[in-house]
């Protein structure tokens, strides 16, 4: 009986460690409002991939300056488009990136106007660009996206404008 309890306890410990999520250091480089209108996560591992992606056209004139900040020999660029958000306020943040198994989960928070806000809904497609260090444990940088809206007052919806940001977490 004692051996069974010991085996069950060991299995619980190992399974909880397997399910544990580890925070990953990242840098948030840019947010914009003219990305894809559907939920999308793109992993860019080279300048060539960047230049052939939707990100290049979304950034337009800002692309060369952003490329100067990305050293593809040591980091991977991840773009998360949250889809159409007609009431977003322009506040988009990545509070956390976690490693889960062999993949990464990017958590994104999008500020939206309160329900009582009288600002008209406008077409907008927010996206965020982050970098993470290249890792031997992450072969494909697959994973998921977690997107949450949060009430953020009452502000005009940004349309197609871009906002550079640099936040390291």
Residue 139 has pLDDT above 60, yes or no: no
* Higher-pLDDT residue of 120, 20: 120
Task: For the chain, give the percent of residues with pLDDT over 90.
Answer: 62
- Number of structural domains (the chain) is 1
pTM (predicted TM-score):
0.82
Averaged confidence pLDDT in the chain? 83
Per-residue pLDDT of 13-23, as tens digits, reads 444 444 567 88
Residue 4 lies in a domain: no
Range of the domain at 155: 21-168
Residue 16 lies in a domain: no
Residue 130 burial by Cβ neighbours in a 10 Å radius (0-12, 13-18, 19+): buried
- 11-20, 27-36, 47-56, 94-103: which has the minimum mean pLDDT? 11-20
Residue 3 lies in a domain: no
Q: What are phi and psi of 157, to 5 degrees?
A: -80, 125
Residue 135 lies in a domain: yes
Residue 12 lies in a domain: no
Residue 10 lies in a domain: no
Residue 78 lies in a domain: yes
Residue 92 has pLDDT above 90, yes or no: yes
Residue 139 lies in a domain: yes
Question: Tokens 């992993």 — which residue?
Answer: 43
Q: What are phi and psi of 121, to 5 degrees?
A: -70, 140
Give the pLDDT band of residue 129 (cuts 50, 70, 90): very high
């Amino acid at each position: 009986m004692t051996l069974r309890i010991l085996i069950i306890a060991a299995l619980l410990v190992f399974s909880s460690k397997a399910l544990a999520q580890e925070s990953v250091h990242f840098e948030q480089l840019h947010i914009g409002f003219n990305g894809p209108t559907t939920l999308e996560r793109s992993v860019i591992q080279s300048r060539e991939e960047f230049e052939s992606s939707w990100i290049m056209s979304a950034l337009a004139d800002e692309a060369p300056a952003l490329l100067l900040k990305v050293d593809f020999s040591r980091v991977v660029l991840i773009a998360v488009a949250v889809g159409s958000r007609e009431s977003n306020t322009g506040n988009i943040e990545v509070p956390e990136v976690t490693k889960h198994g062999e993949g990464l989960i990017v958590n994104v928070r999008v500020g939206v106007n309160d329900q009582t806000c009288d600002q008209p809904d406008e077409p907008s497609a927010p996206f965020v660009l982050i970098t993470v260090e290249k890792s031997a444990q992450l072969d494909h940088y697959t994973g998921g996206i977690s997107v949450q809206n949060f009430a953020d007052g009452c502000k005009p919806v940004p349309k197609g404008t871009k906002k550079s940001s640099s936040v390291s977490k």
